[in-house]
Amino acid sequence: MKKLLTMFFVLVLAINANAQEKKSVEGAAKELHLTTEQFDQIKVLANERNQKIGEVKKLQLDSDDEKEKIQEIMNTYFPKINNVLGKDKVKEWNAYWKN
**Widest CA span of the chain, in angstroms?**
57
Confidence of residue 98 (pLDDT cuts 50, 70, 90): confident
Total residues found in the chain within this entry: 99
pLDDT value, residue 11: 55
pLDDT value, residue 21: 61
Q: What is the pLDDT of residues 74-88, one digit of tens each?
A: 999 999 999 999 988
Give the sign of the dihedral formed by CA 43, CA 46, CA 50, CA 52. Answer: positive
pLDDT value, residue 52: 95
The identity of residue 27, as a single letter, is G
Q: What is the pLDDT of residues 4-44, one digit of tens each?
A: 555 555 555 555 555 456 788 898 889 999 999 999 999 99
Asked if 68 contacts 58 with a C-beta cutoff of 8 angstroms, the reply is no
Ramachandran angles phi, psi of 20, nearest 5°: -95, 15
